[in-house]
Structure 1
Amino acid sequence: MKSAFILWRKSIFTRLIVTFLLIVSPIYLVAFLIYNWGINSVKEELEGTMKSQLSFYSSNLDTEIQRVNSLLFNTLYDSNLTDLANLISKLSDYDTYQSINNLQQRLLVLQNSNIYVSNVTAHIPSADMIVTSNDGRGPLEQEPLHYFNSAKSNSKSQLLLYKGDIYLRALLPLDINYRIEKKVHLLTVKLSIERIRAALGQLETRRDSGAVLLLPDNKMILSDAVDIEFASSLKNVLISRLKEAPSGTIVLENDKLQYFAVYMKSDYLNTALVQYVPMEALTEKAEQFKTLFLFFSLSAVLVIALYMLSAFKFIQQPMLKLIRVLRQMEMGNLNVEITHRRTDEFGFLFQRFNGMMKNLNQLIDQVYKQQILTQQAELRQLQSQINPHFLYNTYFVLYNMAMSEDYDNVKLFTHQLGSYLKYITRNAAEDVPLHIEVDHARTYCDIQSLRFYNRIEVEFGHIPPSCRDKLVPRLILQPVIENAFEHGISDMKSGGWLVVRFEKENDGFVIIVEDNGPSISEARVHELNRLLTPGRDDVSEITAIVNIHRRLRLKFGEESGLSFEVGDKGGLRVNIFVREQGAN
């Protein structure tokens, strides 16, 4: 799993996709930034529009109230009002009527000069009367007179709230106790809550939007569309925000809907004006940007998918074909061919690859045939290398037996010698079962035992049952034993010892030939192993052994062959490895 992940990570296809994504990512990032910029711009534009509307309405309201206050204070010094306040006892009834009538006309002009004014009242305690713009003369009421005389306003506009109505007042800058004691007159203007509410309705520019005017005593004037419960929640948040900043924005939720509000405080009136809209109003124009962005995103995904599909089809698939074929070649299958329908670069490459594999197979076939011929020649060389000393000594032994009339051993000896020569000279099979090769080696050892009677002991181990019928190249064991006799134990007067044993391994078996000849050094063993290295020319000393080594490697692979080491009794040990996994 880990190797597959590493291969995928290092794949050309992966790098192409990553490169393409690295190219597309900045473009997509720019589009995303433009999308966010567009949405923020729309929100900022709508927020700016709401602030402009709110600022205009608030400024207009301040201006209107300032103008009313200015007219109100001018009327405070009107001659008709001062005559009624100071000279009422000296005026005739006609003069009194005329002054009241003129004063009412003056108050009516003030009322009509502003849409927010519903009534103007002159309180004249010295004459025990009031004069209003709507009703003219009336009786003086002490309760409102006392309130307007003593009430303190927190605003520069002298805005007051009395019994649920909104008033402006104008009075002389005298001490309150003096005004009450001397019965100094004053003026009040009643503002129309309905007209203010109607004006607030002009700020309802969208469905479910509204406006609220927060008065100094935290009472509210609501536009027609405002829900009272929602307005109460808005008021609580607004009071908290006004402590932090005189203007700003609010986001609040009502009935699982979010609202965006802009508020602004009037220092002159000591009021706060709030306009709110549903949050979706901020995003309804941004939805166009969102739609475009989603379209761009889907287009980008489609382009990436098409690119990945094209890259996989035109690049990755041909590469996978090549990789699969190369892996088959690693496993030893050279009869491979890559089919490719398109006439592109990969088509040219695969066509040349198929031609190369065809030529390679032809060359391998030629080399293989040459190796077979070489192996046969080496086998014939081994067959022809019958040691003349061996024949001379064998015939001498046979002569002695005949002279001593030991006819039983003569029969046995000649039979063994005949079998030996037949195996050497007339057996045409290149491969033989292991037990037949071992029987031939036994025959050779039996002949040598008669020659070296009571001087050399030969032991053969048991062949593992699973290995008895394994085919091995002919003459791989007897020449090794012959080498042990010739160079190891032939000169020993007594106590000579030679053993041949077999060991089964997971991937084959080992034939071990060991003697107790003269002690051999590690340096000499190293030199003998070095002579087995391919390409060596100085191997005349052990030509037969080298031929066996090469034949085994040719037959069973590079892991098979011969190796030398120091035996347990100081002599030479030869290991003949046969690895079945590499068999050809």
Structure 2
Amino acid sequence: MRASLRTKLIIGFFAVTVPLFALLLYNNFYAMNVVREEVGQSNKNLLSMYRNEIDRTLVESESYLYNFVVLNEDLRRYGKSQPSSAAYFFSKVRVQNKMIQDMVNYPNVNLVFTYGKAEDELLSTSFRGGDAARLETVTKVLKSYIASQSDAQLHEKSWKVIKQDGELAIVRLVPTDYGQIVGVWTDIDKLMVPLSYLELGKQGQAMFIARDGTPLTTAYVRGLNTAGTKLSLPSENERYTRLHMADQSDYLLVSTASKFAPLHLAVLVPESTLLQQLPYFQRLFFIIPLFGLAVLVIYLLLLQRALLKPMYELIKGMRQIKRGDLETRLMAGSTREFGIINDTFNDMASQVHDLKIHVYEEQIRTQRAELKHLQVQINPHFLLNAINIIYNLAELNKTDLIKKMSTHISKYFRFVTRTNLNSVSVNTEFEHLQSYLEIQQLRFPQYLRFEINISPGLEKEMLPPLIIQPFVENAIVHGFEMGPEHFTIRIAAKPATNEDAAYYEVTISDNGVGIADDQLVELQRGDIHADFEDGHLGIWNVRHRLKLQYGTSAELKFEHGEPKGTVVTLRIPCSTTTSTG
């Protein structure tokens, strides 16, 4: 029997619709997987960006701790001095003041501290974002945590998570050779601040998870705060893992591991939020074949007006931004979507413009702060020498000389208190050097002589304060020898020898033992570092300060003297050609 028309229509209908529905069903599952993969990849990229920012903060904090331990002389004195001594008290105060001063440069750190195990004493800054009660709580937690750690654990070069007495933070501990432990404390909640800007829907959440899967931050999803709960973290090659929660909801868990801390940055994204738009796309799949031909012409016209033209304007604006024209702004869009895009583009351009200015200003502030820091480093160098001279005079019972030297020292400190500026006049600097050399002459009256000369017209030229003293000190420390001939230091300021009116020269010469040839080559190349303990700290400091203030314009040169001794020449731009800040 032949099939009826109804049957053929039914069979034909099913022949067309069944594959179509199968295709739609496959497309639905495929679309859901694509959405999951794209959302997982997108969130993973965002988390990687935030992770890199957090890791950068951790690396900067860790580098600061090592520099603090290696370079801070007061920390060494604090560890070596007797607790009842004055040296112990003053070094402790300076260590704490130094930590307070340095903490300004690390906005993501809540606390910087130094803990002495022998005295059970913890020095710290104030707790950023908390009051005195919070500081007391954190201090107790830190002492308890450090006491619970073995020496091997304390010497581990890694960040550690503290979860104790309601406190949740990561700490980095660096033991010293003198019994102290220097460290930083950062609240987990402070690291969470950038993640709070992620758009995850009403039920989504960003959080930190330990490496074993234990949630570290409070979770708003029911079932995650139960004791002993551990999440299955995706591997490094996976974009996400799916979780089924106690409230019968499905979530995507996307995470990335910190390279320096034992924790994962993670986000929980509810699948209901991701897939809520898929049914509309499925209906659109049926409608487009039916009305496609009818709306094609209208669509092309609307496409040109509503999409292509605004898109060309957007591309044009992006190219102008790429060329550096940060004043580019787009007109209001003809549609709501392009209105939002254009407003976002304009906001982005304004933020980039403001950020560029902010970065430039921040670089200037950083450079000035470093210059101030390098300048102050010289003061303790002279103070130690002055104390040594007073001690030697006291040993000889020369009270009159002690009084005279005290007068010169008071002049020195009056000069130091005026070095809040980046530059002083040549005349002022030379007066300070004369006071310093008279102090040294009190110690060696039969052997030391000095001459100071300033060519006319150079008295008011500007130079960095305390820029000459390190070479005078080195001449006395390394070049001075007691013999039949007077040890003479000559300091002179004169116009540049090549008759370049834009520069003048300051020379420091002596008739002492001189410098070995290999050491002279090393000084000329500048192969000296700030951690040298052989008298080169002052030279490194001078070279660094000249570079910061004058760039490549200033020069520092070392030569053998004739017939012996050493000659140091500083070639400095005149103040009329160089801004002193």
TM-score normalised according to structure 2 size = 0.40
Higher helix share: 1
Tell which structure's C-alpha radius of gyration is larger: 1
